[in-house]
A and B are shown apart, each in its own frame.
Chain A
Amino acid sequence: MTIAAGIDVGTGAVKTTLFKVEGDNVEWLSKRVTRIRRRDPMSLVDESYAAMLKEAGLTADDVDYVATTGDGENVPFRTGHFYSMTTHARGAVYLAEDVTAVLDVGALHGRAISIDERGKVLSYRMTSQCASGSGQFLENIARYLGVSIDEVGDLSQQSDDPELVSGICAVLAETDVINMVSRSISTPNILKGIHLSMAGRLVKLLRASKVKEGKVLLTGGLAMDTGMVAAMREEMANQKLDVPCESSPDSIFAGAIGAALWGAFRYEKLQSLGQLAEAS
Chain B
Amino acid sequence: MSVQKIVDRCQALYDDLDFNAVKEWKAKEEGRKAIGYMPVYVPREIIHAAGMLPVGVLGGGDQLEVIHGDAYYQSYICRIPRSTIELGVTGRLDCVDGMLFPSICDVIRNLSGMWKLLFKDKYVRYFDAPQTYDDNIGGKFYKQEMQELIEGLEELGGRKITDEDLNNSIAVYNENRNVIDELYAYRSKAPWKALTSEIYLLLRAGMVLPVEEHTELLREYLSAIEKEDRPVRDNCRVVLNGTFCEQPPLGLVKSIEMAGCYIVDDDFMLVTRWLQEDVPTTGDPVQNLADAFLHQSAETAAKYVDTEEAKGNFIVDSVKKYAAEGVVFAAPSFCDPALLDQPMLHTALNNNNIPFTAFQYAENSGQMQPIREQAGTFADSIKLWSA
A interface list, Cβ under 8 A from B: 65, 73-74, 76-83, 85-86, 120-121, 262, 265-266, 270, 277-278, 280
Contact = CB atoms under 8 A, between A and B. Distances in A.
Given A82-B376, A83-B376, A277-B232, 20 more contacts: A73-B258, A73-B372, A74-B258, A78-B233, A79-B234, A80-B234, A80-B235, A80-B383, A81-B233, A82-B260, A82-B383, A83-B259, A83-B377, A86-B377, A120-B384, A262-B380, A266-B384, A278-B231, A278-B232, A280-B232
B70 interface: no
B15 interface: no
24 contacts: A65-B234, A73-B258, A73-B259, A73-B372, A78-B233, A79-B234, A80-B383, A81-B259, A81-B260, A82-B260, A82-B376, A82-B383, A83-B380, A86-B377, A86-B380, A86-B384, A120-B385, A262-B380, A266-B383, A270-B234, A277-B232, A277-B233, A278-B231, A280-B232
Given A73-B259, A262-B384, A81 B376 contact: yes
B148 interface: no
B contacts with A: majority SS: helix
A77 B233 CA distance: 9
Contacts of A73: 258-259, 372
Given A80-B383, A262-B384, A280 B377 contact: no
B304 to A, nearest CB: 38
Most buried by A among B233, B372, B373, B385: B233
A277 B234 contact: yes
Interface residues of B, number: 17
Contacts of B231: 76-77, 278, 280
B117 to A, nearest CB: 44
Contacts of B377: 83, 85-86, 121
Interface of B: 231-235, 258-260, 372-373, 376-377, 379-380, 383-385
Nearest to A279: B231
Nearest to B377: A83
A82 B231 CA distance: 17
A120 B381 CA distance: 9
Contacts of B258: 73-74, 81
A278 B190 CA distance: 13
Nearest to B369: A129
Nearest to B372: A73
Most buried by A among B259, B380, B385: B380
Contacts of A76: 231
Given A85-B377, A86-B377, A79 B233 contact: yes
A159 to B, nearest CB: 36
A262 B379 CA distance: 13
Contacts of A266: 234, 383-384
A86 B259 CA distance: 13
Contacts of B379: 83
Given A73-B258, A120-B385, A83 B233 contact: no
Contacts of B232: 277-278, 280
B276 to A, nearest CB: 29
Most buried by B among A76, A78, A81: A81
